[in-house]
């Protein structure tokens, strides 16, 4: 099989489900690493990205609870960088352990990544990106009173969450670093949590209070490093149309035109599958030869062996 450069995007909820302890998240990543090493075993170059919605939300709550005049809470862009470091640290250890178990000598490195956004992006006046835990309606109403500057919305029937601006990425500042690491045989962990959102002011990059969708950031990185494949991992093995209905249909090999038609038909939920579909379509459109795959972590073996999953091509 030809060696491929692959960007794999993990969701933050794949790292943290109900137990927010560091032990539980590290255990989840050790399981994740067992699947990711399969790519390395077959000779692929791997770049890993990940979400951080639950983690950065919990960090903000911890900081707010302990904030004082002399020790104030950090802004959201800095909290994103902090979770890039902590999740990267856990993931490096998990991958190091699993690579050693497989007899593979390979280094893993986390890149604290700044992702450039447009300061005029409309997202800054219309927050939509959920972060942190779910709340019931009563809890959300109390939090709204305590923090009138925050916005809470109902999220996909699962409860209420805080939402923040989610501007589209226009560049990845450290993409050359990531590509250099891949060329040196290192597995980089990059654009964690969608990257630290920054805007360019002359020669400076200035952080903004926002969270970039990790699927769009992963797409932009995959585009810039000329990846062969963008794999977006989610809770299901395939993209479906008419999801959870009697005439539900699994998509296996699909063109970008077909996906765009389904999108116009409102087939994909805004808070879950839609950004994954849009990021996959963007990558295939903007890549000269690349494909995108949407599947689950648990289905990686079937994808590698039998091509199972939703595969998107021109």
Handedness of CA 96, 111, 167, 261 (dihedral sign): negative
145 is catalytic: no
Choose the catalytic residue: 276, 290, 299, 309: 276
* Full 3-state SS string of the chain: CCCCEEEEEECHHHCCCCCCCHHHHHHHHHHHHHHHHHHHHCCCEEEEEECCHHHHHHHHHHHHHHCCCCCCCCCHHHHHHHHHHHHHHHHHHHHHHHHHHCCCCCCEEECCCEEEECCCCHHHHCCCEEEEEEECHHHHHHHHHHCCCCEEEECCCCCEEEEECCCCEEEECCHHHHHHHHHCCCEEECCHHHCEEEEEECCEEEECCCCCCHHHHHHHHHHHCCCCEEEEEECCCCEEECCCCCCCEEECEEEHHHHHHHHHCCCCCCCCHHHHHHHHHHHHHHCCCCEEEEEEHHHHHHHHHHCCCEEEEC
SS in 3 state form for 145-184? HHCCCCEEEECCCCCEEEEECCCCEEEECCHHHHHHHHHC
Whether residue 12 lies in the annotated active site: yes
| Active-site residue, selected from the candidate residues 58, 129, 195, 238 | 129
- Catalytic-role residue among 34, 214, 220, 238: 214
43 flagged as catalytic: no
- Whether 136 is a known active-site residue: answer no
How many Cβ atoms from other residues are within 10 Å of residue 26's Cβ? 16
Positive or negative CA dihedral for 222, 226, 227, 229? positive
Instruction: Based on the residue annotation, tell me whether 70 is a catalytic residue of this protein.
Output: no
What residues act catalytically? 12-13, 129, 214, 276
């Amino acid at each position: 099989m030809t060696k491929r450069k692959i960007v794999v995007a993990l969701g933050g909820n794949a790292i943290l489900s109900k137990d927010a302890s560091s032990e539980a998240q590290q255990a989840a990543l050790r399981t994740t690493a067992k699947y990711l090493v399969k790519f390395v075993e077959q000779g692929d170059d791997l770049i890993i990205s990940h979400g951080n919605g639950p983690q950065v939300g919990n960090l903000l709550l911890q900081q707010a609870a302990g904030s004082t005049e002399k020790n104030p809470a950090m802004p959201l862009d800095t909290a994103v960088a902090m979770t890039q470091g902590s999740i990267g640290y856990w993931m490096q250890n998990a991958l190091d352990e699993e690579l050693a178990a497989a007899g593979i000598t390979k280094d893993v490195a986390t890149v604290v990544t700044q992702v450039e956004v447009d300061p005029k992006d409309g997202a800054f006046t219309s927050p939509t990106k959920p972060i942190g835990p779910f709340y019931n309606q009563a809890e959300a109403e109390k939090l709204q009173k305590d923090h009138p500057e925050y916005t809470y919305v109902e999220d996909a029937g699962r409860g209420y969450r805080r939402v923040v601006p989610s501007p589209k990425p226009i560049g990845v500042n450290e993409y050359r670093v990531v590509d250099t690491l891949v060329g040196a045989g290192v597995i980089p962990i990059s654009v964690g949590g969608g990257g630290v959102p920054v805007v360019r002011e002359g020669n400076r990059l200035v952080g903004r209070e926002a969270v970039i969708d990790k699927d769009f950031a992963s797409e932009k990185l995959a585009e810039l490093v000329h990846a062969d494949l963008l794999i977006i991992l989610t809770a299901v093995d395939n993209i479906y149309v008419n999801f959870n209905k009697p005439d539900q249909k699994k998509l296996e090999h699909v063109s970008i035109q077909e996906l765009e038609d389904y999108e116009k038909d409102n087939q994909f939920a805004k808070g879950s599958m839609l950004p994954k579909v849009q990021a996959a379509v963007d990558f295939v459109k903007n890549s000269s030869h690349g494909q995108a795959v949407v599947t689950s972590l648990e289905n990686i073996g079937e994808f590698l062996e039998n091509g199972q999953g939703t595969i998107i091509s021109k």
